[in-house]
Structure 1
Amino acid sequence: MRWPSPEGRASIAQPFAGSQIVLSASSRTAGAIDSLAWNGREFLNRFDHGRELQSAASFDGYGECLNPTEAGSDADGMGPESTSRLISLRVQDKRLHTRTRMAWWVEPGETSRECPKGPGGYASPLSDAVLTKDVEIGVHGVANAIAYRATFSVPHAFASANFEVLTGYMPPDFSRFWSYDPRSGRRAPLSDGPGEQPVPVILATEDGAYAMGVYSPDLPQAAHPDAGFGRFRFPAPRGPEGNATVKWNCVYRHGAGGPGPYAFTCYTLVGTLEAVEAGLSRLHAALSGARTPGSR
């Protein structure tokens, strides 16, 4: 695979509020996004191959034991290479396009605490599921909005599926969790959960100088009216002492399905807390035809 830079990185950028939003994918993570920066601040925690800004799926209630993951496997740890395999990469203007054959998160025959049914029954650490993603900065007239269009090519039939279309792992000082309803313009404190709720989530620093939010116009799903946007705090995860992290996600659920493509779009926004709120409202208005809260 030929990368735009000799360091094995591909980046796109967009001016916003006196700085640049710079989004970058790497060979280390098989094309998954492992850096998102604005105004001198990194928004992502890329400690291992399970964090980053990436996609994953799980099937049939097996949790992490049937869990193809874009950036790689748990066994990849902090290493420089990924079990996932990048198939193609294209960068054009403010768009990044990749196709990646995803690794199983848990090694064949092994389990984790998040494997309620035991081993997943696969023999290779590399799954046959392929993620195609198209990422664009500055969409629908909202300069700080990033569109993330993901298509999961699933090779097998399944009884149920959870598509974590997009998740963002962040440094722990993004410690304030908020819900924000772009229809009403109302922000409210959100508990640690962990878990999902039906309106967009924002994670922000204590002073609101930096924030990151998530939105998808088709959430919540009718069959899951109380879910879709998750938030989680991990104050003492595995690894070196002090390696805490927080995360948000954008999740779609599917009942029984056959082999084929499953496509979804989620948006993430960065900036100050105020700018993320304003961007969420404008994005919602653009995609739904509704008026921005406070407009006449």
Structure 2
Amino acid sequence: MPRRTSSVRRLAIVTVLATVATTLLPIEAALAAQGGEAVVAKILWRVRVGSRPDLMTTKDNAERDGFPNDGQIYYLPATQVANTRPLYRLYNPNAYGHMDHMESLTPGEGGYQTEAPVGYAYQAAGNAQGLSQYRRTFNGCNGDHGSRSVNEPALSCYADEPLAGAFGWPRFANTASSPLTLSGGGVTVESNLAAGGAVFQWTHNGVQYLNRRDYGRELQSSVFFDRGNHVQSNPTEAGDTWTDWDRPAWARHGSPLASASNNTATLTQSTRSVPIEFLPQTYAGGGPDNPVIYKDMLLGKDITLNWGGLGPVARYTTVLTSPALTGEPTVEIPTGYLRAEFTRFFTYDAISQTIQEINQSPNCPDSYNYYHYTPPNRGGVIIANSSLTAAMGVYGANKSVGGSVSEMLLGNFFSNPTACGGGTGDHDFATSKWSVIHKGNLGAGTKTFNTYVMTGSVGNIKTYMNQLAAWGNA
């Protein structure tokens, strides 16, 4: 993708950790490294061969590009790691009068010829987060085998033949957006399940606030930590750098979705993803067709709309499940990328009720030039349009008073069009950014971090933050 697209996200990595990856980390070292095991995966695509057609699974780029492509079906480990076994592609030149390919754990099943493995399937659902049983399919109308993920409907005449002892991360075929929508308090949030459940749209009073040029943006969470050998890791809720809007859906690397639900009684939307490394090329074998998956981690949110009856105020609880992380890891709890219509930056101390406008310098080209704000007690940051009639703010309590916040960041990726690109739309290069940061060592298990996201005029947002502070929200 164009460098300036991914650089917006990469700046957060460099800024937070102040370290640069200088060597590739061999994937064999992952079992003992922080964050658990990081798995270099292969994308499995389903293609249509011939006029019948024969639905064939492939991991090969040239083979994929030679046939009509139904899209991504699964991620599987690219090599045989712990608790996996080969998943073979088999071939029969004359099954029911036609050639047929199918996947099997058994070489030569049914007298078929054995081809190379398409990947390595986990043996049990508990071997990694977010796994689903591999679904081979059989067409009772014409005798063809295929495959499908749980995230797509069954094709006509095809019935599932789940493979016992074969599990992978299911994908969303040729779909770039699979929305889960919830409304409350005048706000509608739409999370994209094909991108790990990250919030792709936040709409209030007819205004859609978020920029979603690639899966490093939106409203989501990510983690930063040093994995060793000066390799900085960045597990990301939505996906990795190979997700620019111009890249076809079958080529984008969304984070595997582990769960997603709406509770309409409490107006709470919950999603969890198995985060993937934002820069997969940091790992030996990772790259544009090989996402790197943190198999022992979950990252997501519980977002409750109309919090406290305040209308367009949502409590945003970042939820991280992981092995212990040491060395001062950083978690974005969360970050929001806004359309470049929002160009004015503010900090707000909700205890003294003091607002300050920030003249934020451009962050493009690559720069460490974020504005850093630490609420002395309770407060937040705001990014508004020029007239201050529409804005998004995020509020939180400092760790010193029992909250989750270490600091907040503001970034300007719009006022240097040559370096950042231009436009004010959902998918344009230009964007503005806020981020809430939690720093500190984390124990193993599930950790939660509370912040509060809100929209309205700047005056409205000040009122909402004052109320949250009066309630003592942390």
TM exceeding 0.5:
yes
Q: CA deviation at 1:227?
A: 5.1
Comparing 94-103 with 62-71, which one deviates more in the overlay? 62-71
Q: Which runs of 4+ in 1 moved over 4 A?
A: 61-64, 236-242
Deviation sequence 1:113-169 (CA, Å, 0-9, x none): xxxxxx9xxx96111321142111111232221111112112354322001111110
Choose which of 196, 199, 208 in structure 2 pairs with 1:42.
208
Residues in 2 aligned to 1:53 and 1:105: alpha-carbon distance in whole angstroms: 15
Comparing 177-186 with 206-215, which one deviates more in the overlay? 177-186
Which residue pairs with 2:243 in the alignment?
76
Which residue pairs with 2:345 in the alignment?
177
- The TM-score with structure 2 as length reference comes to 0.52
Which residue pairs with 1:88 in the alignment?
259
Residues in 2 aligned to 1:229 and 1:126: alpha-carbon distance in whole angstroms: 28
Structure 2 contact 319–449 (Cα < 8 Å) conserved:
yes
Structure 1 contact 89–98 (Cα < 8 Å) conserved:
yes
Residues in 1 aligned to 2:472 and 2:262: alpha-carbon distance in whole angstroms: 25
Whether 2:182 is the aligned partner of 1:12: answer: yes
Structure 2 contact 194–257 (Cα < 8 Å) conserved:
no
Choose which of 22, 26, 29 in structure 1 pairs with 2:195.
29
Classify the secondary structure of the residue corresponding to 1:13.
Answer: strand
Which residue pairs with 1:151 in the alignment?
319
Q: What RMSD over aligned residues (CA atoms) do the two structures have, in Å?
A: 2.9
Structure 2 contact 412–432 (Cα < 8 Å) conserved:
yes
Classify the secondary structure of the residue corresponding to 1:76.
Answer: coil
Deviation sequence 1:211-259 (CA, Å, 0-9, x none): 0111112x2558xxx951110011348786542110001110013x443
Residues in 1 aligned to 2:275 and 2:255: alpha-carbon distance in whole angstroms: 5
Aligned pairs for 1:222-233 (under 5 A) are 228-233=407-412
Q: CA deviation at 1:207?
A: 0.2
Deviation sequence 1:82-123 (CA, Å, 0-9, x none): 431001111121210111101100014369xxxxxxx9xxx9
Which residue pairs with 2:282 in the alignment?
109
Gaps in structure 1 of 5+ consecutive residues: 112-118, 290-296
Residues in 1 aligned to 2:447 and 2:269: alpha-carbon distance in whole angstroms: 19
Classify the secondary structure of the residue corresponding to 1:180.
Answer: strand
Which residue pairs with 2:121 in the alignment?
none
Which residue pairs with 1:116 in the alignment?
none
Structure 1 contact 96–136 (Cα < 8 Å) conserved:
yes
Residues in 2 aligned to 1:183 and 1:64: alpha-carbon distance in whole angstroms: 40
Residues in 1 aligned to 2:473 and 2:214: alpha-carbon distance in whole angstroms: 37
Structure 1 contact 237–244 (Cα < 8 Å) conserved:
no
Which residue pairs with 2:457 in the alignment?
272
Residues in 1 aligned to 2:305 and 2:419: alpha-carbon distance in whole angstroms: 33
Deviation sequence 1:16-46 (CA, Å, 0-9, x none): xxxx311110133221100001111110001
Which residue pairs with 1:197 in the alignment?
373
Q: Which has the larger radius of gyration?
A: 2
- The TM-score with structure 1 as length reference comes to 0.81
Give 2:258's aligned amino acid.
I
CA pair 61-227 structure 1, distance change in 2 beyond 3 A? farther
Number of matched residues? 268
Aligned pairs for 1:111-130 (under 5 A) are 125-128=292-295, 129-130=297-298
Gaps in structure 2 of 5+ consecutive residues: 1-149, 153-174, 361-368, 424-428
CA pair 103-54 structure 1, distance change in 2 beyond 3 A? same
Residues in 2 aligned to 1:194 and 1:65: alpha-carbon distance in whole angstroms: 19
CA pair 157-212 structure 1, distance change in 2 beyond 3 A? closer
Give 1:228's aligned amino acid.
E
Residues in 1 aligned to 2:381 and 2:440: alpha-carbon distance in whole angstroms: 22
Residues in 1 aligned to 2:373 and 2:420: alpha-carbon distance in whole angstroms: 29
Residues in 2 aligned to 1:110 and 1:34: alpha-carbon distance in whole angstroms: 28
Residues in 1 aligned to 2:273 and 2:418: alpha-carbon distance in whole angstroms: 27
Comparing 188-197 with 29-38, which one deviates more in the overlay? 188-197
Comparing 228-237 with 70-79, which one deviates more in the overlay? 228-237
Which residue pairs with 1:214 in the alignment?
394
Which residue pairs with 2:364 in the alignment?
none
Give 2:466's aligned amino acid.
S
Give 2:468's aligned amino acid.
L
Structure 1 contact 67–106 (Cα < 8 Å) conserved:
yes
Residues in 2 aligned to 1:100 and 1:184: alpha-carbon distance in whole angstroms: 38
Residues in 1 aligned to 2:323 and 2:244: alpha-carbon distance in whole angstroms: 27
Structure 2 contact 182–188 (Cα < 8 Å) conserved:
yes
Structure 2 contact 319–448 (Cα < 8 Å) conserved:
yes
Q: Which structure has the highest helix share of the two?
A: 2
